[in-house]
Amino acid sequence: MRISIWRSLRTSCWKGESAGFISTKLRLPPNFATVKRYSFRVGRWFGALALLVTACQKPEEVPVPAQLIPRDKMVSLLVELHLLEARTDAAVLPQDSARALFRQQQKNVYWRYEVTDSIFVQSYRYYAVHDKDLDEIYSIVVDSLALREAKLTPPGSPPPHP
């Protein structure tokens, strides 16, 4: 008897019918399916409003770091880091060993350029927020890497990249 009552109550709720017994126990209105639907609509409007408000906010302005790496030094540092990354990718090592080798060599590059990793990250973030600066820096980096590649390939050989 008890199982059949519970099944009938459960199936009446799933059919969307008014469940008087459950609504009196939970103190819900008799037709709580419409309340659920209404709260979903209100939730959508609040979500859209929150998205609109956050989209209209000004992006966070990054202050100039105290030890900003100059552009020419940043270009040569990025060239060295990209060459180092290419060398470690070309080495036939397991992924964790290659990552450890890259990090060790990266510290050596930072030491040669007399910067720390935090100064590099702060400078990179500053240049990244200012899109034109980073675009100019990377156009120089790409050009210098292409020039190095052109010097290494013998004349008359096909280009390594399509």
Structure tokens at 91: 């080495």
- Check whether 158 has a pLDDT greater than 80: no
Residue 100 is assigned to a structural domain of this protein: yes
Which pLDDT score is estimated for 144?
Answer: 92
Residue 127 is assigned to a structural domain of this protein: yes
Residue 82 is assigned to a structural domain of this protein: yes
Range of the domain at 85: 71-152
Which pLDDT score is estimated for 23?
Answer: 47
Indicate the number of domains in the chain. Answer: 1
pTM: 0.59
Average pLDDT over residues 133-137: 90
Residue 37 is assigned to a structural domain of this protein: no
Residue 119 is assigned to a structural domain of this protein: yes
Q: 130: which DSSP letter?
A: S
Which pLDDT score is estimated for 117?
Answer: 92
Residue 50 is assigned to a structural domain of this protein: no
Which pLDDT score is estimated for 60?
Answer: 63
- Check whether 1 has a pLDDT greater than 50: no
Residue 137 is assigned to a structural domain of this protein: yes
Residue 140 is assigned to a structural domain of this protein: yes
Structure tokens at 13: 């709720």
Tell how far CA 10 is from the center of its chain: 44
Give the separation between CA 39 and CA 34, rounded to whole angstroms.
Answer: 9
